[in-house]
Amino acid sequence: MFDIKEFQSIRRIVLLATLALCCTSVSAQEEIIRRNLSERYPTLPKIDEISKTPVGGIYEIRIGNELIYTDSRADFIFQGILIDSKTQKNLTESKKEDLRRIAFSTIPLEGTFKRVQGSGARQLAIFVDPNCGHCKQLEKNLEDLKDVTIHFILLPVLGDDSYNKSQHVWCSKDKDAVWKNWMLSGIVPPAANCNVEALSSNMKFAQQHRITGTPTMILGNGRRIVGAIPIAQLDKLLNETR
């Protein structure tokens, strides 16, 4: 007589065995790729992750935030973008976007000054340099954003003058007013001195997350945007974080 319980038990055993075999196979393949690459490219930086792509026999290798692709034995390596022709989705850029995300909760807000517009419900952090032309262009349009809290993170990457101006902004009583006066009207921040450890912390945080240019924006959902973009586009992206 057919025993349904026995059949289900056997099916579970077969399924678990299949999964174990699959995982072992994938792990073994990764080991082959790592070994071959380390032997052939001794100076290659540490590989952080190896994963299968939707393309049969092609693997994705992640080194930091960079992606390269290879076959199952690392006999061939290629760079470029992987696109799903059915959906026209850029799989490479999508993965890189995920890698660039920064959890908003990890941003050292104690080293920022903020501006609240409207209800302030939406969150936006911007790494800025006082001598950055694109930052000045962005500043002209930020007032068009409604219901947003903007956290400005001083990141003087354009030389000593940028550092001096950043110090004077940070040490002023009304940081946002002094910042706006300089960025919009060219009124040089008055000299001021105080503890500027926040600037060092900002630079350390930027280095950890490979933020090298300004403006760099972090949305409430962690998405990173490098460079100035049209304010209407920024507003739309901020809405998506709600």
Peptide linkage before 215 cis (omega within 30 of 0): yes
User: What gap in Å lies between CA 211 and CA 226, rounded to an integer?
Assistant: 9
User: What gap in Å lies between CA 149 and CA 117, rounded to an integer?
Assistant: 6
**Residue 140 above 80 pLDDT?**
yes
Q: Is 74 exposed, middle or buried (0-12, 13-18, 19+ CB in 10 A)?
A: buried
Q: What does each C-alpha distance from 189 to 60, 75, 127, 230 come to in angstroms? A: 49, 58, 18, 27
- The model's confidence at residue 7, banded by pLDDT at 50, 70 and 90, is very low
| Predicted structure pTM score | 0.73
Question: Which domains occur in the chain, in start order?
Answer: 4-100 (3.10.450.70), 104-239 (3.40.30.10)
pLDDT of residue 11: 54
Report the DSSP pairing between strands 89-90 and 122-128.
unpaired
pLDDT in tens, 146-196: 999 999 999 999 999 999 999 999 999 999 999 999 999 999 999 999 999
Q: What is the mean pLDDT of residues 128-153?
A: 95
pLDDT in tens, 35-44: 999 999 999 8
pLDDT in tens, 61-102: 988 888 899 999 999 999 989 998 989 989 888 888 888 889
**Residue 20 above 90 pLDDT?**
no
Q: What is the mean pLDDT of residues 192-221?
A: 93
pLDDT of residue 43: 92
Helix H segments across 63-127?
A: 91-100
Which position has the higher pLDDT, 21 or 12?
12
List, in order, residues 6 or more apart from 162 with CB less than 8 Å away.
129, 130, 131, 156
User: What gap in Å lies between CA 66 and CA 61, rounded to an integer?
Assistant: 8
